[in-house]
Amino acid sequence: MKLRLPRDIPRRAAAAVVALALVAGVVAGRDQSTADPSRDTAPDPAPVSAVNATSVQPALPDLDLEKLNRPAKAGKITDLFAPKTAMLAPPPAPVAVAPPPRAPPPAPTAPPLPFRYFGKWVDGQKTVVFLWRNNEGYSASAGDTVDGTYRVESITESSVDFTYLPLGTKQTLPIIEAN
């Protein structure tokens, strides 16, 4: 015999629905029997029709509301929502560790002399040197300031002595004569 299902429901889906219904019936039967073992197994009351459903309410067992109240204790009542304070010792004060002292910055030094010796001219007691710096030529004698930062202190046969004015540092430019 071939089973015909309305709406062309697949056989597997129908079998699954039937199996679930059987399992639900068995589980529901166990719940009722294990819920109150002292209860007599009386037949269920007749189903109420849909028309009469709003006017007739099934009888519920009376609830003993006193069972919901807790007996008053003679002692202190604990507030479950009160903030908790821990009775711990205060943490030890942090020990301030001084960072190691910084090394003093190095003393400022004068930059290397930017001049190259180009030549000199001696006119009696006065000697003039010719210096070269970045494609610019300078002529200076003792006491002259060159480029606003260097002062020529003295000119000898073997060197020109300068003072770097921002720091007061003495510097020497050697004179090397070509033969």
For every one of its 179 residues, what pLDDT tens digit does the chain have, with 9 covering 90 and above? 566 655 677 888 888 888 988 888 888 876 555 555 555 555 555 555 555 545 566 677 787 888 777 766 666 777 778 777 766 777 888 888 888 899 999 989 999 999 999 899 988 889 999 999 988 999 999 999 998 999 999 999 899 999 999 999 999 999 887 65
> How far is residue 29's CA from residue 32's CA, in Å, rounded to a whole number?
5
What is the identity of the amino acid at 158?
A: S
Residue 65, domain member (yes or no) = no
Residue 157, domain member (yes or no) = yes
Residue 75, domain member (yes or no) = no
Residue 148 sits in which domain range? 116-174
Count Cβ atoms within 10 A of the Cβ of residue 171 and give its class: 0-12 exposed, 13-18 middle, 19 or more buried: middle
**Residue 23 DSSP symbol:** H
Residue 152, domain member (yes or no) = yes
- Residue 3 tokens, joined: 């089973």
Residue 169, H or E segment: strand 169-174
Residue 82, domain member (yes or no) = no
Q: CA distances (Å), 110 to each of 55, 78, 123, 139, 155, in order?
A: 109, 80, 32, 22, 20
**Global pTM?**
0.43
Residue 52, domain member (yes or no) = no
Q: Which residues contact 150 (CB under 8 A, 6 or more apart)?
A: 113, 115, 162, 163, 164, 165, 171
Residue 143, domain member (yes or no) = yes
**Residue 178 DSSP symbol:** -
pLDDT at 131 (0 to 100): 93
Number of folded domains in the chain? Answer: 1
> How far is residue 14's CA from residue 8's CA, in Å, rounded to a whole number?
10
Question: Rounded to 5 degrees, what are φ and ψ at 165?
Answer: -65, -40
- Residue 52 tokens, joined: 């009469």
Residue 151, domain member (yes or no) = yes
| Residue 37 CB-half CA count within 13 A | 1
pLDDT at 128 (0 to 100): 93
CATH for 123: 2.30.30
